[in-house]
Chain A
Amino acid sequence: MEDLAPGVVAVIVTCDPGPWFEETLQSFATQDYPELSVLVLDAGSVEDPTPRVATVLPSAFVRRLPENAGFAAAADAVLGMVAGASHLLLCHDDVGLDSDVVHVLVEESFRSNAGIVSPKLVAWDDPSRLLHVGMAVDKGGAVVDRVDPGEIDHGQHDGVRDVFLAPGGCMLVRADLFAELGGFDPAVVAMGDDLDLCWRAQVAGARVIVAPSARVRHLERLAAGERPLPGGAPSLQALQRRHELRIVLVAYSPFHLLRVLPQVLLLSLGELAVAVLTGNRARARAVVHAWTWNWSRRKELRASRAALRERRRLSDSEVRRLQVGGSARLTAYLRRLFAHGFEAAHAGAAALTAHRLATDEPGADSEVAGAPTLASGATALGSRPIPGSLGNGAGPWPADGAEEPEPAPAAPLSLSARALVWTVIVLVLLVGSRQLLGTGLPSMAGLLSWPAWSTLLHRFVTGWHAPGLGGVNPTSPATGPLGVAALLLGGSSGLLQKVIVLGCIPVGAWGMARLARPFASPRGRLVATLAYLAVPVAYDALALGRWDALVSYAAAPWVVARLARASDLEPFSAGYGSDRARRSRRRPLLRQIVALGVLEAVFTMLVPAGASLTLLMTVGLSVAALLVLGSSGWRPVRRMLATAVGATAVATVLLAPWSFAMLAGSQRWQALTGVALAPGTGPGWSSLLRLAVGPIGDSPLTYGLVVAAALPLLVAARHRLTWAAMAWGLVLTSWLVCWTEGSGWTAGFAITPLVLLAPAAVGVALGVGLGMAAFEQDLTAHRFGWRQVATVLAAAGAALGALPVLAGAGGGGWDVPTSGYGEAMAFLANRAPAGGFRTLWLGDPRAFPGGGWQLEPGVAYAVTNGGLPDSTSLWIGSSPDGAGTVANDVRLAQHHDTVQLGHLLAGPAIHYVVVVQALAPVIPGYQTPAQFPVPPALTEALSSQSDLVAVPGQSGADVYVNEVSSRPISANLQSSWTYRGVLYGVVLVWIVVVFRLARSSSGRGRRSRARPRAGAARSRTRRPSETGPRSVTGADAPAGVGR
């Protein structure tokens, strides 16, 4: 055989070779093939390599070229230099051949009648790691590797087979074929020369095969960025893109080019858009460069096409048999996106590969690994989660008592990204509220003007409260801290009101961020916060003047977070992540009770419905926890219920004596929850499901947020699924209570729908955030499928769902009426009789200024000293006392049992009866606020009274003047010493509790500073629970096992 061996010329193209060069030459010197000649082509090295070649391989020929025009141009020089050889072995200067490589390649070339034969390329330093075993390509020229980066060679690819592309590090080419094709395309200076040659060879009818028995080590210096690019070429990425496109433009016949080119263009545009959006300027430049570079070489391309046309033996349909379907680059991008998240997807595969290699985590995709040929820029379509690891396609659920591994926490967001997002949020809120910032809030519904700080403090101390006929009944303790706060703001209670009202939105968002923080997904936390801001509840509360809903919006996430901590469920348990630590560091229940009690007290003193809402949220969370956790849910449920009930008791004590007076009054339920709406007048299902019961967000798009919140129920695992279910427990509870209230089935329990929707907003936002967390941490466990599709739909839903609020921000005032009843009702005082007067207010509870008692479902009433009430009327108390008699008088008129209501009202000095029919005055051409008319029978009854004179010209409210003169008002405003004693005692309790809590927190802070935080530790090192299963399941075993 040796006598018959055809001649082979090994062509080594070199340029300033490094220290490995001798080893390369040595590998050629030790080849067992007898008819092998070696030609070293030096492409413009600074230092002449001839002495080095002569030392190792004295028989080799050296040819020095004047410049480095790239591998292709240098290799083409062989066409005029070599004759009589049957094959050419074209090699880089950083390869190391096993001794039988030439032998095997030549033998296989003849056996398979192949034009080009590729060896198996392995890593230079670690030959057990595969680099390339032949390659494929998609229709757009993107190269697809057959092996995973870092894949261990177990012989799994050791079979001769046809491939589309022989990687350019080392390939055996039939000499006549190389000559017929005219060698490489010299315009392809790097990254694509091999693809160009192989594609044209296939078009010319030659086979390209891989012979894995021949093994070649490859250093890939150019890809590592350790060698300069030839001829001032742009980046490797740019070279790759432009050469891919060039090859596509040359190799396809006209028909197929017409079909493929638009697809390539479309993908390029998509990639360009993504690159621009993610700030990847290098990628964007590469995409644009590919098209401009090829456009400028139109004539050259036409010539190349013409030359190939003459050599074409196979049609494109036959050539494409070895191509992969679809877009390899798009598929790889989506896989990275779904498997590793945005950062990995946009950082490129190189970073991911580096990360995985650094953490012994194989299976990374590579896109631009940086080899001098396209081979190293391949996309590994075959990459899969490594067998035996978490990515085996099974979404594990922790068995009872068993620890399942938790995916590694998602990478943190960069500071600039967070700053950008928060800046946008702040800007949107500022733009949306710009009109409210400049002017005062209108006096309407719950946004009534706040009295002076001195008045607030006076009411706090004396207990005097104005609603009803006045009296010395305890008023909300909120008057105390609010009075102090107004004093600290320079005595401007109006400024304080604006700060608190508008501050509810960021406080709620902050609470949401705190609630989502333990889930160890910075993006999930951010998304949850954004979703909470995108839910229309807060803006509708502003537009409808619902102070209670605004405060509930601010407080609900904090309350849920407290309940979550109390539940001791992962990830809120104190020792989350370590079973031993969990057992030793369970959250003390008493502390949870006191902490939630303080929070609930603050919540309830501002909104009396706060206590009810807290208990309602507890019920929602508990039912869902039982449903999702089964019997193991009893413990967290017991803890939550105990905490909620205990906290309510604590809050009751902290709010004494007001709380006890509230519970003792005849109208306690109304005072604690609100006035019921008339049956059938509540929000419809459409509004409830969208959480949009006001003007903001009144669009079908807001369904998107709710749809997005359902994602974690479908794809989340472990505690994310548990909390997704509990979040939906909140949502469903809110909806159900709203519905039963609207149906009139809840008797006196009548929390305003907007207030009830605050927990639902928390649930939806938490669901959306958990969806993001599940996307980052749970989706890696699944192959591409419906889960990914659902994720895309959820993301689209969330994005669309936020649009209505963004659109609402454009108005600058969240649809809050410009003018309130403050101006419209100013005349009441102007026409006041001597000796003072009172005003009877009637109206729908949704438009009622301040708080009121229930006259009948759908109609609230209150009596004020003077005209429009101030904000302290929101805490109206549960004992109407004399005002109850007034209500009975109105009922008499309604039932046609009197036509002289004025006579009856003259007793309590009621000079005006105001029936509020709209949220704010209706001013034609200026503002048209929401209308909430009272039942017609009430209006008819009042207008039929023989002693009430309607005041013409009012719109939005009907005003009647009592013709019957009344007595002057007199009242004893002195509070008892008992009241003051209890009050001061409670203040002392407040001071002690807050001091103890603060000291406890600071102690914890010191301790936490003394040792790394658990979360921080998790983010840097893998927990034992994570490492254990990996070592058992073979995470450290060579990749590809079981493939």
Chain B
Amino acid sequence: MRRETSRRVALVVAGVLVLTGVVVADAVVGPSRPTPGGAPLASAVVSDAAATSSAWYCAGLAAVAGAVLVTNPGRIPVTGTVRSQPAGSGPATTESFAAPPEQQVAVNVPQGAATVSVNGGGVGVLEAVAGLGGMTAAPCASTVANTWYFAHGSTAGGNGMEVTVFNPLPTPAVVDISFVSSSTGTVFPPAYQGIPLAAGQSVVENVMDHAPDQVSLATEVATLSGSVVATVFEQAPAPGHGGMSFLDGAAAPRHAWAFARNEDVAGGTTLFIVYNPTSVAATVTVSLSLSQGQAAPFVLDLPPQSTSVMNAGQQTRIPAGAPYGIKFSTRATPGIVVTRVAESSGSTTPAVGWSSGQAGGVRRWLVAPVPAGQSPASLAVVDLSPGPVLVTVKGFQLNGAATALPGAKAVKLEPGSVFVLAPSPATPVGWSPVEVDASGPVAVQLDPSPAAPPGTASVAAWPLVSRLG
């Protein structure tokens, strides 16, 4: 009897222990849950150099004629084609190109959205346009998406704002365009609803026609079917106070955005427009990285479907005339979108520039050289992590290897601090492509010279998620 009882107890205890152990283990180590959302780090990501093919979609050129700039940091020449399709209907033109190693080539494109097909990978492509307002270049998109968000645009004060939507795929698409205005709330212009886009077709919508005199317009492009690429082309009247920019949109809201280098110059203004495109309120923490260290963060509260404009000049924590980095972060799901508007006193060209923030969480960046006719001024790197990071700025050798530039190898960055690298013959930052490699998330910004305050004409950089060279 005792033996039976003891074995019975042993059985029950063993079973209970096994189950308890499993439940505890499940709770402690648990199965690795799938990572939420497949949102890419950015809409423009340099693919692996070993890729068999890659494509870049330059929607902004549908609004204005310009050029595509193909940056090849690798050691192998890259060939491809640029196919340009005018908005609406019209004959498409195709032009081949060959990008030598470590070089940037420009391919002029008549007005029309362009698809850059690359026979391989490892290159970055910009769309660039020059005019009275100076020159601007922004990354083309390396991916299509179902939604695109733009935090800012303006049709007030003579500013021009054009939304271009491009369907580069063979699958037809239908899109809706809506706006969130700081004055009138969410707007769904009937003319912008259900826009059909056949394969390869693009459309340019002049927002002035349906939402005039709006100081700040956040834009959302959403597809009902298919996938597209969207860009906002923003233009300020010249002369005197002109400028123009391609704003590359965000395919998805994100939890963190950063601008590596900003400066509140005398007579100028720097605005940060934070857009909450979601249906839930968001609390946004603004962190400042000053030369003397990290300033105490402050908070912005955004209702659903709203924008908030932060004027840096009115923030007492930001010293006038001093460079600083800034980071916007939120825990709200799915996140926010941030755009910066930098404006000088008017004596420079361009006097005003719009740029999208860099998504947080990127450790490697490929920084394009400055466009022809300009010279690099500085490369700023800001630490976005809660701890120190080691930053190395690498130049590409002719053999394809990326080696650290003098004075830029394993530089330790404290949290919230900024590292600024000035170009020199030994550190040809801006003259040729460079890679910024950090042990933690960082943001980078290359400003050309001469130029107005940082941000008015920044050079694009692409997140790197694969190998180059």
Q: Which residues of A contact B (CB under 8 A)?
A: 394-397, 399, 627-628, 630, 678-682, 685, 713-714, 717, 721, 725, 728, 732, 735-736, 739, 742-744, 858, 892, 895-900, 903-904, 935-937, 940, 943-950, 952, 963
Contacts and interface: CB of A to CB of B under 8 A. Distances in A.
Interface of B: 1, 3-4, 7-8, 10-12, 14-15, 18-19, 22-23, 26, 29-34, 37-38, 45, 47-48, 50-55, 115, 117, 121, 142-144, 168-172, 199, 225-227, 466
Given A397-B1, A892-B52, A963-B170, A897 B47 contact: yes
B50 A946 contact: no
24 contacts: A397-B1, A630-B7, A680-B31, A680-B33, A680-B34, A681-B34, A682-B31, A713-B11, A713-B15, A714-B8, A714-B12, A739-B22, A742-B31, A743-B26, A892-B51, A896-B51, A898-B51, A898-B53, A898-B54, A899-B55, A946-B55, A949-B169, A949-B170, A949-B171
Given A396-B4, A713-B15, A744-B31, A897 B143 contact: no
Contacts of A395: 1, 4
A627 B31 contact: no
Contacts of A898: 51-54
Contacts of B38: 935-937, 940
Contacts of B45: 896
A494 B356 CA distance: 61
A94 B3 CA distance: 54
B143 A680 contact: no
B279 to A, nearest CB: 20
B53 A732 contact: no
Nearest to A951: B171
Which of A721, A858, A897, A937 has the most chain B CB within a 10 Å cutoff? A897
Given A742-B31, A935-B34, A950 B51 contact: no
A627 B10 contact: yes
Given A735-B19, A944-B169, A950-B226, 8 more contacts: A394-B1, A396-B4, A713-B8, A714-B12, A895-B48, A897-B48, A898-B52, A940-B143
Contacts of A904: 52
Contacts of A937: 38
A946 B168 contact: yes
Contacts of B10: 627
A631 to B, nearest CB: 12
A900 B14 contact: no
B247 to A, nearest CB: 22
For the complex of A and B, 5 pairs with smallest distance between CB atoms: A397-B4, A897-B51, A936-B38, A680-B33, A743-B31
A717 B171 CA distance: 70
Nearest to A892: B52
Contact of A943 (B14, B47, B142, B227): B227
Contact of A685 (B8, B23, B169): B23
Contact of A948 (B11, B18, B115, B170): B170
Given A685-B26, A892-B52, A947-B170, A628 B31 contact: no
B55 A713 contact: no
Contacts of B47: 896-897
A395 B170 CA distance: 78
A395 to B, nearest CB: 6
Nearest to B23: A685
A922 B466 CA distance: 38
A713 B12 contact: yes
Contacts of B52: 892, 897-898, 900, 904
Given A735-B22, A743-B26, A943-B169, A899 B53 contact: yes
B391 to A, nearest CB: 26
A586 B292 CA distance: 88
B30 A743 contact: yes
Contacts of A721: 4, 7-8, 11
A446 to B, nearest CB: 24
Contacts of A394: 1
Contacts of A399: 3
Contacts of A628: 7, 11
Given A892-B52, A898-B52, A743 B29 contact: yes
Given A736-B22, A943-B171, A896 B11 contact: no
Contacts of A900: 52-53
Nearest to A688: B22
Contacts of B168: 946
A948 B169 CA distance: 8
A790 to B, nearest CB: 12
Nearest to A394: B1
A164 to B, nearest CB: 38
Contact of A946 (B34, B170, B226): B170
B31 A897 contact: no
Contact of B37 (A627, A713, A936, A963): A936
Contacts of A680: 31-34
Nearest to B52: A898
Contacts of B8: 713-714, 721
Which of B4, B14, B22, B144 has the most chain A CB within a 10 Å cutoff? B4
B14 A627 contact: yes
Nearest to A725: B11
A682 B38 CA distance: 20
